[in-house]
């Protein structure tokens, strides 16, 4: 007798905490994959904005012709929005995607550990820089905690950094690899549990070097970006890329790397710190190294 294959990794019900750029992207990805998704916003007032962000993303996909109206409606039907963490009790996987603040993420993992009932449920962090062990150790299930670092925009970029700690079970990593590959259609790479993992450990010093060149008057942002796009075939120059990521996010990752490795290449330049303090965060605020009317 032939059995019917279950969902990839045994994961059918997904929770996403946070519905900013990354959280909403992950939620849409899971919804389009046919999964039952609960999205938890930071508070009741954030629920309508989160729903609007996800709906807007799906509408843009329809306008581009990459999604039909029927598929949009079906995806929205799989998404539930709430501000109540208790709605995650029956989830097979919960992905945390709140701001890159270790204390806030740790507090959330303590709460998720109490709320999520299934002993096999996986708790994942979309952290782009923080060591996952620190989050795993505040829970009673460190063997079920992983890092799943998606990239922006989630719908377009195929990579997911999958990070296990010294305590993560091999079964958890196997299930998550299958889930990322089969259910989500992404390419996972196993990365070490160190600040920045692989991609940001390479990328952030490059972005910071470009900021320093602007700060020291070596070249303008436009010249630097032209140099890297036209001379090195990069799709985006480093400063436009920093604006896309968010200068606050770049700063947070740099500070995490600098705390862990104490190397000068990871220290955020004063120019970058002042821009963040002034609210010049890049594309999402309308102005960074470039203006976005």
CATH code for the domain in which residue 183 is found: 3.40.50.720
Report the predicted TM-score, pTM, of the whole model to 2 decimal places.
0.91
Return the pLDDT at 137.
Answer: 98
Of 191, 213, 234, the last residue of a domain is: 191
Q: Is 102 a catalytic residue?
A: no
Identify the active-site residue in 126, 195, 200, 256.
200
Domain assignment present for residue 2? The answer is no
Better-predicted residue by pLDDT, 88 or 50 = 88
- Are 175 and 221 in a shared domain? no
Spatial distance between the Cα atoms of 261 and 281, rounded to a whole number of angstroms: 25
Domain assignment present for residue 183? The answer is yes
Question: Which pair of tokens denotes residue 258?
Answer: 């600098």
Of 137, 161, 191, the last residue of a domain is: 191
Q: How far apart are the first and last CA of the chain?
A: 62
Q: Is 128 a catalytic residue?
A: yes
Side by side, which strands form the sheet with 79-82?
79-82, 36-40, 13-17, 93-96, 122-125, 145-150, 159-163, 187-191
The answer to whether 147 and 200 are in contact (CB under 8 A) is: no
* Residue 44 to residues 38, 41, 83, 101, 111, Cα–Cα distance (Å): 14, 7, 5, 21, 18
DSSP the chain: -PPPP-SGGG--EEEEE--SHHHHHHHHHHHHTT-EEEEE-SSTTHHHHHHHHHHHHHHHHHHHTSS-HHHHHHHHHTEEEES-GGGGTT-SEEEE---S-HHHHHHHHHHHHHH---TT-EEEE--SSS-THHHHTTSS-GGGEEEEEE-SSTTT--EEEEE--TT--HHHHHHHHHIIIIIS--EEEEE-SSTTTTHHHHHHHHHHHHHHHHHTTSS-HHHHHHHHHHHH--SS-HHHHHHHH-HHHHHHHHHHHHHHH--GGGSPPHHHHHHHHTT--BGGGTBSSSB--
Q: Is 234 a catalytic residue?
A: no
Question: What is the mean pLDDT of the segment spanning 146-157?
Answer: 94
Q: Does pLDDT of 1 surpass 80? A: no
Q: What is the pLDDT of residues 60-119, one digit of tens each?
A: 999 999 999 999 999 999 999 999 999 999 999 999 999 999 999 999 999 999 999 999
Q: Does pLDDT of 251 surpass 70? A: yes
Return the pLDDT at 274.
Answer: 98
- Are 32 and 130 in a shared domain? yes
Q: Is 161 a catalytic residue?
A: yes
Identify the active-site residue in 24, 97, 128, 195.
128
Q: How much of the chain, in percent, has pLDDT values that exceed 90?
A: 91
The answer to whether 290 and 243 are in contact (CB under 8 A) is: yes
Q: Does pLDDT of 3 surpass 50? A: no
Domain assignment present for residue 1? The answer is no
Domain assignment present for residue 292? The answer is no
Q: Does pLDDT of 2 surpass 50? A: no
- Are 39 and 173 in a shared domain? yes
Return the pLDDT at 217.
Answer: 97
Q: Does pLDDT of 267 surpass 70? A: yes
- Structurally, the chain folds into a number of domains equal to 2
Identify the active-site residue in 126, 149, 256, 258.
149
- Are 177 and 41 in a shared domain? yes
Domain assignment present for residue 166? The answer is yes
Question: What is the mean pLDDT of the segment spanning 43-71?
Answer: 92
Question: What is the mean pLDDT of the segment spanning 36-51?
Answer: 93
Domain assignment present for residue 187? The answer is yes
Q: What is the pLDDT of residues 183-220, one digit of tens each?
A: 999 999 999 999 999 999 999 999 999 999 999 999 99
Spatial distance between the Cα atoms of 175 and 189, rounded to a whole number of angstroms: 14
- Are 61 and 205 in a shared domain? no
Domain assignment present for residue 250? The answer is yes
- Are 176 and 33 in a shared domain? yes
The CATH number covering residue 232 comes to: 1.10.1040.10
- Are 32 and 134 in a shared domain? yes
Q: Does pLDDT of 154 surpass 90? A: yes
- Are 140 and 223 in a shared domain? no
What domain range includes position 78?
Answer: 8-191
Identify the active-site residue in 161, 195, 256, 258.
161
Q: Does pLDDT of 33 surpass 80? A: yes
- Are 156 and 209 in a shared domain? no
Return the pLDDT at 5.
Answer: 58
């Amino acid at each position: 007798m032939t059995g019917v294959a279950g969902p990839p990794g045994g994961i059918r019900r997904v929770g996403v905490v946070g519905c900013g750029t990354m959280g909403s992207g992950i939620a849409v990805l899971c919804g389009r994959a046919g999964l039952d998704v609960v999205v938890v916003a930071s508070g009741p007032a954030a629920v309508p904005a989160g729903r609007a962000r996800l709906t807007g993303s799906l509408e843009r996909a329809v306008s581009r012709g990459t999604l039909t109206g029927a598929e949009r409606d079906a995806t929205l039907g799989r998404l539930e929005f709430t501000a109540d963490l208790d709605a995650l009790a029956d989830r097979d996987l919960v992905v945390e995607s709140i701001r890159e603040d270790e204390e806030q993420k740790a507090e959330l993992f303590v709460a998720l550990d109490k709320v999520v009932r299934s002993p096999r449920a996986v708790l994942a962090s979309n952290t782009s820089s923080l060591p996952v062990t620190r989050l795993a150790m505040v829970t009673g299930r460190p063997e079920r905690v992983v890092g799943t670092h998606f990239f922006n925009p989630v719908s377009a970029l195929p990579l997911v950094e999958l990070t296990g700690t010294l305590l993560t079970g091999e079964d958890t990593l196997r299930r998550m690899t299958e889930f990322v590959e089969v259910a989500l259609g992404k390419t996972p790479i196993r990365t070490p549990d160190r600040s920045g993992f692989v991609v940001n450990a390479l990328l952030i010093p490059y972005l910071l070097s470009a900021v320093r060149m602007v700060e020291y008057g070596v070249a303008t942002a436009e010249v630097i970006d032209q140099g890297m796009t036209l001379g090195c075939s990069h799709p985006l120059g480093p400063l436009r890329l920093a604006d896309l990521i968010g200068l606050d996010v770049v700063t947070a990752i740099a500070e995490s790397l600098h705390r862990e490795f104490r190397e000068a290449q990871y220290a955020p330049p004063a120019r970058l710190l002042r821009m963040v303090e002034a609210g010049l965060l890049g594309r999402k605020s309308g102005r960074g190294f470039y203006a976005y009317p």
